[in-house]
């Protein structure tokens, strides 16, 4: 049964493994302050596909991080860039100079010049698509793969659940591989999305408690203690000022974000801040609050970004164990073995 399941799994995600160049079509979600050289190399070394989270890094820091990751793995990995980064084109130039094989663009519709620059040096471009219409547009613009991420995910989220996005987008996007993300904590869920037509999946929350992950012990403990309902989405307080919701564990920090939003929106309406500046002020709040939680271990006032799959996070263990468990569960599901 297990052997049968493995053969079926390899068949289902072959398009994804061929695209990534990895043994398993399991992407590590790029998490700022978390997805750095240690976790990224561990995911790739274990057969998955690690992705460096550039976040707010300078080009110099990104270059050093890519080099350091290469020193820890000879397997393929990617780099995630935020489209709102003021030095996006410089970061793309770093990826070109470092001969990065896969670039993920996140955080808004990618500018045409960014897409062209990435395609120009031969990297494979992956983009997030919140709707089928946008997914089609991105494929026409040059995206080599699409990631669809449901609202169950941690960090910045859209308004639609993973299962609905999968039903809407997988049947209509067939030209390129599609990877499904958001709320995935078990291998049987991975198998189900592959059966629906996905080429692979992306997981973030499960990997936060990997032994190799550099996140503070307090941050990992908060994940292990939490249940699915503790991972709540921030609320937008002014419809005229759209703020991308962020999912994190409820604490003093989530309350403080509401206050910060109110202050920034008030300044925007008083003409003290432009919309772009106000948006950046909110992003900076998250950046600082996330660093406090991940790096300093302040899980009370910091931002403990986590997806709803956090309830399936039970213990700190090596990355390779997490990936092997997911693969085994997927094989059992596909081989028709009794579920554990």
Which tops the pLDDT comparison, 326 or 84? 326
Q: Using the CB atoms, write b or e for 102-111: b if 16+ within 10 Å.
A: bbbbbbeebe
For residue 109, report the phi and psi dihedrals to the nearest 5 degrees: -65, 125
**DSSP code at position 49:** B
Query: Which residues make beta-bridge pairs with 232?
Result: 248
Q: Examine the pLDDT at 338 and tell me if it is beyond 60.
A: no
Confidence class of residue 237 from pLDDT cuts 50, 70 and 90? confident
Q: What is the pLDDT of residues 120-138, one digit of tens each?
A: 999 999 999 999 999 999 9
Query: Which residues make beta-bridge pairs with 147?
Result: 128, 179
* pLDDT value, residue 3: 85
* pLDDT value, residue 241: 66
Q: Examine the pLDDT at 337 and tell me if it is beyond 80.
A: no
* pLDDT value, residue 340: 46
Mean pLDDT, all residues of the chain: 94
Spell out the domain ranges in the chain.
2-215+313-335, 227-294
Q: How far apart are CA 171 and CA 71, in angstroms?
A: 40
Q: How far apart are CA 22 and CA 264, in angstroms?
A: 44
Q: Using the CB atoms, write b or e for 251-279: b if 16+ within 10 Å.
A: bebbeebeebbeebbeebeeeebeeeebb
pTM, two decimal places: 0.94
* pLDDT value, residue 213: 98
Cβ proximity of 39 and 212 under 8 Å: yes
Q: Examine the pLDDT at 212 and tell me if it is beyond 50.
A: yes
Distances (CA, A) of 93 to 100, 168, 308: 10, 35, 35
3-state secondary structure of 204: coil
Average pLDDT of the segment spanning 109-121: 97
Question: Would you tell me which CATH number, out of the four given (1.20.1440.230, 3.40.50.2000, 3.40.50.2300, 3.20.20.70), belongs to the domain 2-215+313-335?
Answer: 3.20.20.70
* pLDDT value, residue 242: 66
User: How is residue 266 written in tokens?
Assistant: 């008030």
Q: What is the pLDDT of residues 44-89, one digit of tens each?
A: 999 999 999 999 999 999 999 999 999 999 999 999 999 989 999 9
Q: Examine the pLDDT at 322 and tell me if it is beyond 50.
A: yes
């Amino acid at each position: 049964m297990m052997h049968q399941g493995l053969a079926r799994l390899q068949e289902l995600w072959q398009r994804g493994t061929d695209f990534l160049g990895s043994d398993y079509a399991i992407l590590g979600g790029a998490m700022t302050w978390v997805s750095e050289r240690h976790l990224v190399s561990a995911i790739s070394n274990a057969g998955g596909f690690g992705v460096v989270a550039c976040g707010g890094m300078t080009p110099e820091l990104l270059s050093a991080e890519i080099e350091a990751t290469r020193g820890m793995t000879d397997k393929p990995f990617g780099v995630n860039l935020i489209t709102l980064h003021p030095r996006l084109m410089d970061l793309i130039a770093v990826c070109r100079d470092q001969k990065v094989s896969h670039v993920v663009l996140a955080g808004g519709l990618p500018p045409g010049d960014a897409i062209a620059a990435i395609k120009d040096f031969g990297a494979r471009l992956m983009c997030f698509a919140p709707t089928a219409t946008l997914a089609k547009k991105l494929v026409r613009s040059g995206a080599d793969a699409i990631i669809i991420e449901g609202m169950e995910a941690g960090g910045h989220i859209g308004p639609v659940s993973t299962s609905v996005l999968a039903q809407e987008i997988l049947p209509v996007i067939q030209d390129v591989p599609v990877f499904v993300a958001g709320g995935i904590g078990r291998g049987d869920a991975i198998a189900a999305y592959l059966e629906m037509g996905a080429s692979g999946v992306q997981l973030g929350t499960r990997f936060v408690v990997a032994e190799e992950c550099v996140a503070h012990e307090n941050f990992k403990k908060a994940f292990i203690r939490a249940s699915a309902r503790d991972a709540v989405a921030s609320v937008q307080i002014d419809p005229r000022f759209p703020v991308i919701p962020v999912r994190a564990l409820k604490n003093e920090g989530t309350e403080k974000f509401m206050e910060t939003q109110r202050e920034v929106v008030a300044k925007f309406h008083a003409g003290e801040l432009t919309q772009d500046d106000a948006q950046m002020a909110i992003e900076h709040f998250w950046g600082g609050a996330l660093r406090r939680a991940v790096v300093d271990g302040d899980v009370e006032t910091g931002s403990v970004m986590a997806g709803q799959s956090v309830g399936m996070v039970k213990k700190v263990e090596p990355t390779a164990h997490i990936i092997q468990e997911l693969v085994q569960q997927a094989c059992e599901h596909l081989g028709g073995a009794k579920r554990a």
